[in-house]
Structure 1
Amino acid sequence: MSQKERFKKRNQAVRNEFNKLVREQPKWRIDAIIDDVADKFFIASRTAEAIIKSEGIYKEN
């Protein structure tokens, strides 16, 4: 598996986890959910936010 494929798989997992937490914890603030997702995947909160929003290099093609 190439590095690009691994990043794509990780990014999809980040989005899935975010969507799951939004459904399970509707009263949580969005930034709290992003922080929780970032901690689970050992990435910065800003990186998790960019992946979720498909910003910059994290855009889906």
Structure 2
Amino acid sequence: MRKYRILLPFLLMIIGFVLIGFAWSINIGVPLNSICLILGLGLSFFGFFVFVIGLWKNQF
């Protein structure tokens, strides 16, 4: 069970970085690029904060 607690923040950060890269590299239109960028930033920061909080509370 502990392995999944540490994999979740890293998985969120990886998906966020992929969405950010998708938003910056593909010219598909303003609404979809903006949505990918905002979701990617949100997932990246949320994954980082979950990881820091998990380390702070010694959950991992």
Same fold (TM over 0.5): no
- Of structures 1 and 2, the one with the larger relative CO (CA 8 A, separation 6+) is 2
Q: Which has the larger radius of gyration?
A: 2
More helix by share: 2
| Normalised TM-score (structure 2) | 0.43
TM-score, normalising length: structure 1: 0.43
